[in-house]
Amino acid sequence: MVRHLRSPEIVEYHESFESTKDLRSATNRLYLPKLHILIADDEPDNQLMLQLMLEKMGATVSLAETGKAAVEQFLANSFDIILMDIQMPNMNGCVATQLIRESENKRNLKRTPILVQTALSLRDIYHQCIESGCDDILIKPIYPQQLHSKIVESLKCSKEKPMMASEKPKPTHIAETDFLVILDSSYRDVMPGIIERKYKQMDALHGFIEQKNVKETISLTHQYMGLRGLKEVNLLAQRINTSAQQGKWKLADDLAHEMDHFLKNIKLQYIDGWEY
């Protein structure tokens, strides 16, 4: 099957909402000042989204692309907390966590909180993660309130109570469209590029599904499942992943075309303080 690639037509909304000022004043920021946080994740787009969230909260961020690199950074630096992806090449997050815990014991160091981040089902990985020495689990896609709450809980040093989802104000004049995604304005410079890269990867996904390649289909959809702010893409990727594991290739193909269509037609709107 040959699919002619076209760049997604990303449209940004810059409408003036009467409620925007109220949004900014009513929305509480989530603070993590003076914290040095290590993000270990092999997917660059997931790294970038987490980095933006944490830096907006006031944290300093370091990055590692593999479990091995995370262990090496831990040995060479001091971190307040580590966010460890569970699925990484060469050395996964659980093995990396075990090595970090062994190093802490040998060097008589204070325990560094480690939060595992994953798009897998909690029941599939909970015991494995806890036994390896991690402190808690973040299920992707990760949202600011969830991230802040887990970090504060792990550090037991809350600076500011996270805003509950029910407290989040909503704009009153949003354009009605199935392809509209509302994001905080801090993502304005990065999200169009992320969406374009994911759209281009769809050719590979269609090919793996056509070949009935379970391993590669699961691996690629995992990259889509971690994208926060894109709920529809996350849900479709999860369903494609499950369909591939169950051998339901016709359903996987239909879902992939649906995700393709969404990424091509997505429209982005940015509002200051929308998620904080």
pLDDT at 29: 59
Please state, rounded to an integer, the average pLDDT across all residues of the chain.
78
Concatenating the DSSP letter of every residue in 132-187 gives: HT--EEEESSP-HHHHHHHHHHHHT--SSPPPPGGG----S-----TTEEEEEGGG
Residue 256 pLDDT > 70:
yes
Provide the 3-class DSSP secondary structure of residue 70.
helix
Please give the Cα distance from 43 to 106 (Å, whole number): 31
Between the two ends of the chain, the Cα-to-Cα distance in Å is 44
Which is nearest to 261 in space by CA: 221, 210, 187, 202?
202
pLDDT at 60: 93
Fold of 29-162: Rossmann fold (3.40.50)
Q: Which two tokens stand for residue 232?
A: 């529809």
Instruction: Parse the chain into domains and list their residue ranges.
Output: 11-16+174-271, 29-162
CB 226 within 8 Å of CB 43: yes
Beta strands in 80-195 (DSSP E): 81-85, 114-118, 136-139, 180-184
Residue 204 pLDDT > 80:
yes
Beta-carbon contacts of residue 138 (< 8 Å; ≥ 6 apart)? 83, 115, 116, 117, 118, 146, 147, 150
Phi-psi label, residue 212: left if phi above 0, alpha if psi -120 to 50, beta otherwise? left
CB 163 within 8 Å of CB 29: no
Residues 142-152: tens digit of each pLDDT: 888 888 888 88
Please give the Cα distance from 113 to 107 (Å, whole number): 16
